Structure 1
């Protein structure tokens, strides 16, 4: 990447079509504070997409929910990216990856960027028809807005997976297939652990319920 390209590169735009080039630019020319800024902005969109049917409203006012979204993006967004990087880093090493933890952390911050475009849609939905957003089984009056928002959420989520593979491949200097399995392995492990824990807790719950039943 020449100097002119570096000066004109905007990660918020280039990551959509050039994730590897963007990842290399951020890893080589941007510091941790810049990555933290990306995470905070991007995870507002991530958490916006996760508030559907949460029944936060009307127990919390809309402005309170917005403050909660910002707090979650600052706190949980950074922790999530740090923890995810800590998992991806050694698994990539299993595939002979060469990326450092800092490079992985900065690169993975980019995967939250596409969620930024969801923020205005969810905010508009939140203010115009909050009950349909936060309450299960409630149909909204703004059907077109709901359909567009949900469709965009699906597209953004899928595209973030594509970006994740490209970022890990660039950071670790491995093939896209190896990067894909670097993502898949921890996902499978955590899914299995979740199922085991869920079954274990269910058994305990049934046992306690049976005990008190007698």
Structure 2
């Protein structure tokens, strides 16, 4: 089972998924990833709209699932382009089957996310408002666990990029680092643009 072997035999699991090329398994991975991610979006939805936590959770699931399906093809293209720039030889269709591998470790965070959701009620913890440290600590511990698993997911993806592009895992990590840098620069530029637009007098 790739859900277990990703922790003990990541390289073997990557090869298995690349060879299997199962659409059903891939859709299952995205479905489970959306289920895992949904509780993390709920606080933002509750801040923007007057919703019940359960309704916000369902909306968050659909948003996550659709965005992940769209991102699947976009991420594969980005990994293909940057990998080629760094001397890789992977094909786009190979990277399509690699991208979902990153979700395997993160799926295991689902119980943590739903425990935090149950404790906080889907809201951002506010010690002054709630009068309790429990939601805050639950939120903090949940985030620390997610960060730890996320780091391992990056390691697995780096290995996978190395396998597909026929270069080292370190160069695979370089691909991810470049993607993250471009994303950071894009968000920074967007924030500056919005601030300029909002505060510029007409």
Asked whether the 8 Å contact 1:125–1:146 carries over to 2, the reply is: yes
Could you report, residue by residue, the CA deviation over 1:78-121 in whole angstroms, capped at 9, with x for unpaired residues? 11222111101111112232222222121110111222222222
Residue deviations 1:138-186, cap 9 Å, x none? Answer: 4453566445423311211211111111111112121012111111112
The 8 Å contact of residues 165 and 176 in structure 1, kept in 2 or not, is answered as: yes
Structure number with greater Rg is 1
Aligned pair in 2 of structure 1 residues 37, 196: CA closer, same or farther (>3 Å)?
same
Aligned partners of 1:98 and 1:173 also within 8 Å: yes
For structure 1, the 5+ residue unaligned runs are: 1-9
Q: Cα deviations across residues 6-60 of structure 1 (Å, max 9, x unaligned)? A: xxxx111111232222111111113233212212212322343444x42617932
Point out which structure has higher relative CO (alpha carbons under 8 A, 6+ apart): 1
Mark the CA change 1:49 to 1:92 in structure 2 (over 3 Å): closer, same or farther.
same
Q: 1:137 corresponds to which residue?
A: 126
Distance in 2 between the 1:94 and 1:134 partners? Answer: 43
Supply the distance in 2 between the matched residues of 1:88 and 1:144 (Cα, whole angstroms).
36
Where do 5+ consecutive residues of structure 2 fail to align? Answer: none
Query: When the two structures are superposed, what TM-score results if normalisation uses the length of structure 2?
Result: 0.84
Asked if the contact 1:38–1:113 (Cα under 8 Å) also holds between the matched residues in 2, the reply is yes
Q: Aligned partners of 1:146, 1:26: CA distance in 2, in Å?
A: 33
Match of 2:179 in 1: 186
Distance 1:75 1:14 in 2: 27
* Structure with a larger share of its residues in helix: 2
1:194/1:55 Cα in 2 relative to 1: closer, same or farther (>3 Å)? closer
Residue 195, structure 1, aligned to residue 185, structure 2: no
Of residues 42, 46, 50, the one that matches 1:56 is: 46
Provide the rounded CA distance (Å) in 1 between the counterparts of 2:150 and 2:58.
Answer: 24
Do the aligned residues in 2 keep the contact of 1:42 with 1:116 (CA within 8 Å)? yes
Q: 1:181 to 1:36 in 2, by over 3 A?
A: same
8 Å Cα contact 2:33-2:103 kept in structure 1 = yes
CA root-mean-square deviation: 2.4
Contact 1:98 1:171 in 2 (8 A): yes
Question: Residue 92 of structure 2 corresponds to which residue in structure 1?
Answer: 101
Q: For this pair of structures, how many residues does the alignment match? A: 197
Moved more, 146-155 or 28-37: 146-155
